[in-house]
Amino acid sequence: MTNGEENIRDQAAQGAGGTPNTAPGEGTRPAGYCRICGRPLAESEVRMRDGVIYCEAHAPAATPPPRTEWEAPIDAGPGTSPGLAFVLGLIPGVGAIYNGQYAKGLIHVVIFGLIISILEAGAGGLEPLFGMLLATWIFYMAFEAYHTAKRRQAGLPVDEFSSLIPLKEGAGSLAGPIVLIALGVFFLLLTLDVIDLYQVVRFWPVLLIVLGVWMLISRRGAEGSKGGTQS
Amino acid sequence: MNTPLVTAVRGPVLMVTLGALFAADRFGAAEFGQTWPVLIIIYGVLKLLERLALRRRLEAPRA
Amino acid sequence: MRRGSLIGPFILILVGVVLLINNLKPELSLLNLFLTYWPFLLVAWGALRLIEILVSAARSQPLPPDGITTGEWVLAVLLCLFAAGADFARTQLPKARIALHGLELFGESFDYPLAGSVEAGAAPQVFIENLRGSVRVAGGEGTQVKVEGRVTVRAFAREEADKIHAKCPLEVIQQGDRIIVRTNQERAGDSGGVSADLEIFVPKGASVSVQGRYGDIDVANIDGGVEIQSDNAGVRLAAVGGDARIELDASDIVRVVSLGGKLDIQGRGEDIDLDDIAGRVTIEGAYSGDLTMRKLAQPLVFQSKRTELRVARIPGILHMDLGDLTAEEIEGPFFLKSSSRDVELTAFTGPVEIHLQRGDVELRPAEKNPRIEVSLRSGDISLILPEGSGAAIEASTRRGEIVNELDAGLSVEEFGEGGARLAAPAGREPSIRLDTRRGNITLRKTTAAPPKETPQRLKTTSV
């Protein structure tokens, strides 16, 4: 995390030939920080791609070709109605379909089905929790469809997997995949009866703790690369 | 920018895994209801490798 | 421009060809092959695509951004759904007629009558092989084995049906003491066009063995033993004198009434209904419905993935489903170990041992001084003893209370954080131990008031 970013920053500083770690100009606030190397940038050095700030060295090609079919921007039709999107979003998958995001719609349906299955199989005492989860999910789908429709209406590019939860693409943090792997391992241990749900469920606040720690670390890391080194 | 190998093989690897899990279920080795998290794990691993690969690329930017 | 993959369309064509051939020439069991090995199709598809990509990489050609396009995933998902659905219909749906075999839906069914008989003697061993269709065996007077019934063939035209029918004749053969009844359906190529419903009359002294794929099996009125093996069958046995062994991959109900010997049930199913079994009963496997046992003269052993149950005798009735176990008039030793279940035992004798992770337990022993051991991770325990019991009780809960309406002499003390404990009277070895980590323990005595109503469900006889 911090270490890695420092390495990148140093290498970038040496590679790009720019002055490392010094703020541009005396006392001027930088116009932005490069997403990749974190170097503070003057107004003229800022390169914007898709709403993200990069420095000259790390800016991807002007209009990068869509990396996967799933990231191609979805065209906004003339009749995009966020209100309608919200209502349709209450039905699993339909909200995403309205926005043209078919793969996401499928995933929404699958998750909905999973929650219903768990409820039906009797989550033994945890039914209220999963009931609330179901309600939350239904509204998440609706709001997500609403927001995506609004973005499309405004003509902003929207990729297949847009969501309310910020997902960093590209060389973003490793946390995402690691969480995914941990989740997978957890479910596997559960389904293979290695651990028992009842033994483990009482530890759920650990997730909050981990989330907090991770946020701390990533913030400290960001601060460290942004303005911490004022030598 | 050319797609990294890891990204390109993600789909086929997942499909092979899916087929293998269904085969295991069909032939009684392990029920799909128990093995499905493997898919999440493999997707996570591939995604992880992809991000590592992209990082490595950016650290040595192509001319 | 992205170069498309050749594999996706190739798979589609392959599937189409297989299904087409299956329709035109059903005697080759291509569809069956497909339904058995379809996951390997997925694996092959992914592997081939993988090789394509690796080859591109080796040649330093630009790699496609997505290994499998969205369209291809849709095709793959449809394939999985279709194959899994057909698989499911074949093996899991009880009494699924051949109609659900997929695309034969478009054919017609043609019926042919069946008959056959052979001299057998007084106590033959009858082996019946009927892949698809129901089998009813009835014991009676006489020394003949007589088969009646009909064959149903699914095909697009009568000539085809005749051809297929000609391939699977009914055979009723005698080999010494053994009588073999075979419908030979596998000769029709197994892709499921043929099924037969049989009614078989056997001498009363016979013993019967039935093997099938799916179709209900009914055996009644014989003195010998019964052996049944099927992938999917509802089984009914009535008035059978010998031992019975039943192995099923799927079943909606197994009902055995009046069995003279042991009973052994293995595999998977839903409901089990037993009444009047003279020998030991062993049930192993996964059963998702209601289990009802009445009048078991000898021990019952039940074993599933999460539950182990042993009862010495059930003169009364025991009913168990996924969430409850209720029993009335049973004789211990009674042993239950399970993950989650509510238990209610009434009018029981003999030692009782119950270990659960979750569940409420209510016990009303018939004797004054029973030996009982209950340990729960979470759940309430209620013990209702007859008047004047005087049993030595030890009870503890780590989180909950102990309510003592039984004997003012017993003292309940606090135990740890929020718990309570009741120690056995000094010098006496406790014969009743109740322990729960989370829950309340209630001790009561039965009053002169009328006995509690037997719960309705115990009285219902399922039809």
Q: Do B19 and C64 touch (CB under 8 A)?
A: no
Q: Do C67 and B11 touch (CB under 8 A)?
A: yes
Kindly state the DSSP code that residue A227 receives in the 8-state scheme: I
Number of C-beta neighbours around residue C172 at 10 A: 20
Of the candidates C391, C393, C386, the residue with the CA atom closest to the CA atom of residue C369: C391
Give the C-alpha separation, C267 to C338, whole Å. 19
Shortest distance between the Cα of C53 and any Cα of chain B, in A, equals: 7
Q: Do B40 and A187 touch (CB under 8 A)?
A: yes
For C161-218, the pLDDT digits (tens) are: 888 888 888 888 888 889 999 888 877 765 557 888 999 999 999 999 999 888 899 9
- What backbone phi and psi angles, to 5 degrees, belong to C115? -155, 150
Shortest distance between the Cα of A99 and any Cα of chain B, in A, equals: 24
Helix A205-223 with A2-16: angle, nearest 10 deg:
20
Q: Do C340 and A103 touch (CB under 8 A)?
A: no
Preferred mutation among B13, B14, B15, B62 to probe C, highest tally of C CBs within 10 A: B15
For A121-145, the pLDDT digits (tens) are: 655 566 777 888 888 889 889 988 8
Residue after which a domain boundary falls, among C53, C73, C91: C91
Residue of A nearest to C2 (CA): A69
Give the C-alpha separation, C308 to C291, whole Å. 14
Residue of C nearest to A125 (CA): C358
Q: What is the C-alpha end-to-end distance of chain C, expressed in Å?
A: 67
CB-nearest to C46 from B3, B7, B19 is B19
Q: Is A27 on the interface with C (CB under 8 A)?
A: no
Cα separations in angstroms, A41 against A19, A49, A171, B55: 11, 15, 20, 21
Rg (CA), chain B: 15
Overall number of domains in chain C? 2
- Residue B38 and residue B44 in contact, taking contact as beta carbons nearer than 8 Å: no
CB-nearest to C70 from A65, A102, A196 is A102
Residue of C nearest to A104 (CA): C70
* A187 interaction partners in chain B (CB closer than 8 Å): 36-37, 40
Give the C-alpha separation, A228 to A38, whole Å. 11
* A103 interaction partners in chain C (CB closer than 8 Å): 70, 73
Question: Could you tell me how many helices (H) and strands (E) chain C has, helices first?
Answer: 5, 32
How crowded is the C-beta side of C397, counted as CA atoms within 13 Å? 21
Q: Does some domain include residue B62?
A: no
* B9 interaction partners in chain C (CB closer than 8 Å): 50, 53-54, 67
Q: How confident is the model at residue A14 (pLDDT cuts 50, 70, 90)?
A: very low
- What backbone phi and psi angles, to 5 degrees, belong to C232? -165, 105
For B19-62, the pLDDT digits (tens) are: 999 888 877 778 787 888 898 899 889 888 888 887 787 776 55
Number of C-beta neighbours around residue A125 at 10 A: 12
Between C269 and C108, where is the model more confident? C269
Interface of C with A in 359-378 (CB under 8 A): 377-378
Q: Do B5 and C68 touch (CB under 8 A)?
A: no
Peptide bond into C365 cis (omega under 30): no
Residue of B nearest to A65 (CA): B1
Between C257 and A51, where is the model more confident? C257
For C311-341, the pLDDT digits (tens) are: 999 999 999 998 899 999 999 899 999 988 9
CB environment C283-309: b (16+ within 10 A), e (fewer): bebebebbbbbbbbeebbebebeebeb
Kindly state the DSSP code that residue C349 receives in the 8-state scheme: B
Give the C-alpha separation, C457 to C349, whole Å. 22
**Tokens 């609004």 — which residue?**
A150
Q: Does some domain include residue B10?
A: yes
CB-nearest to B54 from A7, A171, A190 is A171
Preferred mutation among A180, A189, A192, A195 to probe B, highest tally of B CBs within 10 A: A180
Q: What is the C-alpha end-to-end distance of chain B, expressed in Å?
A: 12
For A182-204, the pLDDT digits (tens) are: 888 888 888 777 777 767 777 87
Give the C-alpha separation, C384 to C447, whole Å. 10
What pLDDT sits at residue C2? 42
Q: Does some domain include residue C12?
A: yes
What pLDDT sits at residue A199? 72
**Tokens 């992914």 — which residue?**
C46
What pLDDT sits at residue C3? 52
Q: How confident is the model at residue C302 (pLDDT cuts 50, 70, 90)?
A: very high
C242 pLDDT above the threshold of 90? yes
Interface of B with A in 1-60 (CB under 8 A): 1, 3, 7, 33-45, 47-48, 50-52, 54-55, 57-59
Q: Is C431 on the interface with A (CB under 8 A)?
A: no
* C340 interaction partners in chain A (CB closer than 8 Å): 124
What pLDDT sits at residue C4? 60
- Residue C147 and residue C222 in contact, taking contact as beta carbons nearer than 8 Å: no
Shortest distance between the Cα of A122 and any Cα of chain C, in A, equals: 10
- What backbone phi and psi angles, to 5 degrees, belong to C12? -60, -45
* C69 interaction partners in chain B (CB closer than 8 Å): 11
Residue of C nearest to B9 (CA): C67
Chains that touch B (3 or more CB pairs under 8 A): A, C
Coil/strand/helix, residue A201 = helix
Q: Is A191 on the interface with C (CB under 8 A)?
A: no
- Residue C381 and residue C356 in contact, taking contact as beta carbons nearer than 8 Å: no
What pLDDT sits at residue B23? 87
For A144-168, the pLDDT digits (tens) are: 888 888 888 777 666 666 665 555 5
What pLDDT sits at residue C369? 86
Q: Do C70 and A66 touch (CB under 8 A)?
A: no
Q: Do B15 and C68 touch (CB under 8 A)?
A: yes
Q: Do B9 and C54 touch (CB under 8 A)?
A: yes
Q: Does some domain include residue B63?
A: no
Q: Do C377 and A103 touch (CB under 8 A)?
A: no
Of the candidates C201, C167, C164, the residue with the CA atom closest to the CA atom of residue C184: C167
What pLDDT sits at residue C325? 95
Give the C-alpha separation, C350 to C372, whole Å. 9
* B11 interaction partners in chain A (CB closer than 8 Å): none
CB environment B16-41: b (16+ within 10 A), e (fewer): bbbbbbbbbbbeeeeebebbbbbebb
- Residue C323 and residue C343 in contact, taking contact as beta carbons nearer than 8 Å: no
Residue after which a domain boundary falls, among C61, C91, C121: C91
Give the C-alpha separation, C210 to C227, whole Å. 6
Which residue numbers of B have CB closer than 8 Å to C's CBs? 2-5, 7-23, 25-26
Strands C253-259 and C271-277: parallel
Strands C178-182 and C135-140: unpaired
Q: Do A125 and C66 touch (CB under 8 A)?
A: no
% of chain C surpassing 70 pLDDT: 87
Residue of B nearest to A194 (CA): B34
Helices (H), C265-358: none
Mean pLDDT for chain C overall: 84
Cα separations in angstroms, C64 against A70, C2, C44, C454: 13, 7, 19, 70
Preferred mutation among A190, A198, A201 to probe C, highest tally of C CBs within 10 A: A198
Rg (CA), chain C: 30
- Residue A45 and residue A24 in contact, taking contact as beta carbons nearer than 8 Å: yes
Overall number of domains in chain B? 1
For C369-411, the pLDDT digits (tens) are: 899 999 998 899 999 998 877 788 899 998 888 988 887 777 8
- Most trustworthy range by pLDDT among A65-69, A76-80, C3-7, C201-205: C201-205
* A57 interaction partners in chain B (CB closer than 8 Å): 61
CB-nearest to C42 from B5, B7, B15 is B15
What pLDDT sits at residue C13? 86
CB-nearest to C69 from A66, A69, A122 is A69
Domain with B29 in it = 5-57
CB-nearest to C357 from A65, A102, A198 is A198
For C429-457, the pLDDT digits (tens) are: 888 999 998 899 999 888 644 455 544 44
Preferred mutation among B6, B26, B54 to probe C, highest tally of C CBs within 10 A: B26
- State the complex-level ipTM: 0.84
Of the candidates A200, A207, A206, the residue with the CA atom closest to the CA atom of residue A126: A200
What pLDDT sits at residue C334? 95
Q: Do B59 and A7 touch (CB under 8 A)?
A: yes
Residue after which a domain boundary falls, among C74, C91, C108: C91
Q: Do C76 and B7 touch (CB under 8 A)?
A: no
Average pLDDT of the segment spanning C222-242: 93
Domain with C14 in it = 7-91
Residue C78: burial class (beta carbons within 10 Å; 0-12, 13-18, 19+): exposed
* A4 interaction partners in chain B (CB closer than 8 Å): 55
Structure tokens at C233: 């069958």
- What backbone phi and psi angles, to 5 degrees, belong to C445? -120, 150
Residues 6 or more apart whose Cβ sits within 8 Å of residue B11 = C46, C49, C66, C67, C68, C69, C72, C73
Q: Is A125 on the interface with C (CB under 8 A)?
A: yes
Strands C291-296 and A47-49: unpaired
Give the C-alpha separation, C177 to A108, whole Å. 63
Between A107 and C292, where is the model more confident? C292
- What backbone phi and psi angles, to 5 degrees, belong to A106? -60, -45
Residue of C nearest to B14 (CA): C46
Preferred mutation among C70, C324, C380 to probe A, highest tally of A CBs within 10 A: C70
Residue C341: burial class (beta carbons within 10 Å; 0-12, 13-18, 19+): buried
